[in-house]
A and B are shown apart, each in its own frame.
Chain A
Amino acid sequence: MNLDYTPEQQAFRADIRAWLEANVPAAPLPSFDASRAGFEAHRAWERTLNDGRWGMVTWPTNYGGRGLDLIEWLIFEEEYYRAGAPLRVNQNGIFLLGPTLMEYGTPEQRARFLPAMANGEEIWAQAWSEPQAGSDLAAIRSKAVREGDDYVLSGHKIWSSRAAFADWGFGLFRTDPASERHKGLSLILFPLDAPGVRRQPIPQINGEIGFAELFLDEVRVPAFNRLGEEGQGWAVCMATAGFERGLMLRSPARFQVAAHMLVELYKRHQHEVDGTVRAAVVQAWMDADAYALSIYATASRLRAGGHIGAEASVNKIFWSEMDIALQRTALAILGARAELLPVAPDAGDVDGWLDSYLFSLAGPIYAGTNEIQRNIIAERMLGLPRA
């Protein structure tokens, strides 16, 4: 065990820091959920990142990455959040589908999809959930019917993040009509502007169109777009979910930066609040650091050849609950101003706390609810009997 960065890791940190200082837009980009313009501004940023070969440092060099390991990815993330760089509009692509493509995709599929993903030309949305298949994802009904070299997709997907503006979707479809539950499903990629796709934007709790409903009516895609074997979609999809919950979805730096902002907010208002708030601020720092330490331990283990299992569920519960506690503490400090929108003339330093608080409430829901994660921990980690 050695908890010091190597000189190479320190040099890497200095590199990315310098690049971010030179390249991060001075003014924050408009939200990618609020408008097409905001979405496109974020797409342009993805291209800038990719031009600097900073889009995904763990990717192999031939796809625009640097072939670095997970510790360096963590360092990258630390500097990225520290610099206040834009949120990654293509996170579903580069963090989730990308690694899945590298594991399950054919060389042709990788060549077709990865470069366009890396440079932001194609922004990806996930299409798992359906109106009747939320937590119970295996209940999905959307189907893909094989016709020659094509699949014809029909069905109804919902809650697809960023799908209102994104270019491509990936999701599970039933390729075997006689199948049930986890069997007979395939993971298929489809363009969101294909004939037969109708998207219905869904405003989120803050009014922005962060997700969309997708109505698919005989959407024809080449069989080339199936990732992994036919009927093996569930296993492929779980690989993606493992990445999402486990590591890539929420890097620790995000919460450490939030904890830092909370400390600064507290310092400005410490004479207005009592000791319980101070304790909550210290707790937020401890929890964010605990999460970082845990991810460093996981990254070290994976680098040494380990795999991520049910601890992905442990992580997801921890960061989502920590985030809510952190955001609530900020609102407690803001007091009567907590309800003000940043445009209010006397909003002062309310900044983005209210929006972050609202978004934190989604944490225990998306990527598998925390109730489902607790079931997974109990059954797969602790070995308790299935219900």
Chain B
Amino acid sequence: MDFTFTQDQTMMADVARDLLDAECPVSSLRALSAAGEARDAARWRKIVDLGLLGVLVPEAAGGLGLAEIDLVLIAEHCGYFGLPEPLVDTAGIALPLLAALPDVPRAAEALERTLAGESTVAIGHPGNPFVLDADAAGAILLPVDGALHLVDRADAKLTAQPSIDPFRKLFRVEAEPSAATLIADAEAAAPLLTQVFNRGALFAAAQLLGLARRSNDLAVAYAGERTQFGKPIGAYQAIKHHLATVQVKIEFARPVVYAAAAISPASGLHEEARISHAKLAAGEAADLSARTAVQVHGAMGYSWEVDVHYFLKRTLALSGAWGTPNDHRKRAAARVFGAPVGPEHTFTRGAAHG
């Protein structure tokens, strides 16, 4: 029992953080959105070159052969910096899925091209009504009647569903599945789709944790700068207590997210409940943090001019993606009412679904 990250884990996360810190300032988000773009090709190239996409891909397939716990801090940083490019979905969801199908040439080829940075794969899942970044992807994972297909973007009909988050390009995707596009039949696809959903929820939770921290950092910084009645507003107790309350939420989402990552990718009743718990806790922290940041900034917080809104919008988007709070409360309830509870069960694993 050791609930600390290894040095390797923190070092790798620090490298990712430093890259994002240098390459993903809010000014770059501003410039992208002003240009109506959702991705920065140069930044994506740097991310690819760092080798981060293959964290969850086995070494034999060209990846690092690591686990969710090794990616969770990186996903948290992506949330913190509001990264527009699909590092989390690619490294955390799409590639480990493709890597699970080593004998399917179509999947192996997509894996290789994505790892090399030549293309990306967008992910359709019954848990999400829309597909993110489908327009920019080379191929789209599409579940049809329980089976899993990988369709070329060119063969799919995309209907844009504009989002409040300028960097989330969402689409309704329609395509004709065929024997040629099939990569896993229903029986093989079922456990894979479960993993996709769990990873999606886990890494959304990690990003939400990062977003929660970012919004509070912005608010704390502003509270130290802005003066009213002759004092920094951060000297007023009402402001202090708002920000402290957010900090409490953050501190008690953090270990839940990390614990969920540490017991992934198993997908029993306990693991799924912990992932759902993480998504709920991080989502609530991020939501409170973003709203508090708006309030602490006053009218500035309601303006386009100030950075807060980018993080508020991503928070809103990720709160509903990969399972709504309602979906996740149901999974937590399934564990609470379906398996023994009590202090000796904090780390219990592996129970099958009831």
Contacts and interface: CB of A to CB of B under 8 A. Distances in A.
A291 B262 CA distance: 17
Interface residues of B, number: 50
A317 to B, nearest CB: 5
B343 A257 contact: yes
B220 interface: yes
A269 to B, nearest CB: 13
Contacts of B245: 317, 374
Contacts of B234: 378, 384-385
Given A78-B344, A285-B336, A300 B1 contact: yes
A374 B344 contact: no
B6 A290 contact: no
A384 B240 contact: yes
B220 A3 contact: no
B244 A374 contact: yes
Interface in A258-276: 259-260, 263, 267
Interface stretch (A5-13, A151-159, A201-209): A5-13
Between A257, A286, A373, A385, the greatest number of chain B beta carbons within 10 A of the residue's beta carbon is seen for A286
Between A3, A13, A296, the greatest number of chain B beta carbons within 10 A of the residue's beta carbon is seen for A3
A314 B342 contact: no
A71 interface: yes
Contacts of B236: 387
Contact of A300 (B2, B253, B347): B2
B243 A317 contact: no
B329 interface: yes
Contacts of A374: 240-241, 244-245
Contacts of B218: none
B281 interface: yes
Contacts of B244: 317, 373-375, 377-378, 381-382
A382 B220 contact: yes
Given A4-B347, A285-B336, A296-B255, A9 B342 contact: no
A73 interface: no
A27 interface: no
A379 B235 CA distance: 9
Interface string A82-104: 10000000000000000000000
B4 A301 contact: yes
Contacts of A4: 1, 347
A293 B255 contact: yes
Interface of B is mostly: helix
A71 B223 CA distance: 39
B82 to A, nearest CB: 21
A160 interface: no
Nearest to B281: A290
B277 interface: yes
Given A256-B343, A293-B255, A374-B241, A314 B247 contact: yes
Nearest to B342: A260
B126 interface: no
Contacts, number: 165
A289 B9 CA distance: 24
A387 B341 CA distance: 44
Contacts of A382: 216, 220, 240, 243-244, 247
A243 to B, nearest CB: 18
B255 A285 contact: no
Contact of A253 (B4, B255, B343): B343
Contacts of A381: 244, 247
B302 interface: no
B304 interface: no
A257 B281 CA distance: 21
Given A4-B347, A387-B235, A259 B3 contact: no
Contacts of B47: none
A318 interface: yes
Contact of B343 (A252, A279, A281, A301): A252
B347 A82 contact: no
Between A9, A278, A290, the greatest number of chain B beta carbons within 10 A of the residue's beta carbon is seen for A290
A378 B1 contact: no
A297 B3 contact: yes
Contacts of B332: 282, 285-286
A3 B262 contact: yes
A293 B236 CA distance: 33
Interface string B216-253: 10001001100000011011110111011101100111
A79 B343 CA distance: 8
B343 A290 contact: no
B346 A1 contact: no
A373 B248 CA distance: 11
B52 to A, nearest CB: 19
A373 B336 CA distance: 31
Contact of A71 (B1, B69, B241, B277): B1
A378 B243 contact: yes
A106 interface: no
Between A9, A71, A299, A374, the greatest number of chain B beta carbons within 10 A of the residue's beta carbon is seen for A374
A292 interface: yes
Interface string A348-375: 0000000000000000000000010111
A314 B329 contact: no
A1 B2 contact: yes
Between B216, B220, B240, the greatest number of chain A beta carbons within 10 A of the residue's beta carbon is seen for B240
Contacts of A178: none
Contacts of B259: 3, 293
Nearest to A371: B241
Interface in A102-127: none
Contact of A297 (B237, B255, B336, B344): B255
Contacts of A279: 329
A239 to B, nearest CB: 22
A215 interface: no
Given A253-B343, A384-B224, A375 B240 contact: yes
A5 B343 contact: no
Nearest to A254: B343
A280 B277 CA distance: 13
B5 to A, nearest CB: 6
Given A4-B347, A279-B329, A386-B235, A296 B337 contact: no
B76 to A, nearest CB: 14
14 contacts: A1-B69, A2-B1, A3-B3, A6-B1, A256-B342, A256-B346, A260-B342, A281-B336, A282-B336, A289-B346, A290-B277, A314-B252, A377-B244, A382-B240
Pairs of residues from A and B, 5 with the lowest C-beta to C-beta distance, nearest first: A378-B240, A78-B343, A374-B244, A377-B244, A256-B343
Given A257-B342, A304-B4, A384-B243, 7 more contacts: A13-B344, A293-B259, A296-B1, A297-B255, A378-B244, A385-B234, A386-B235
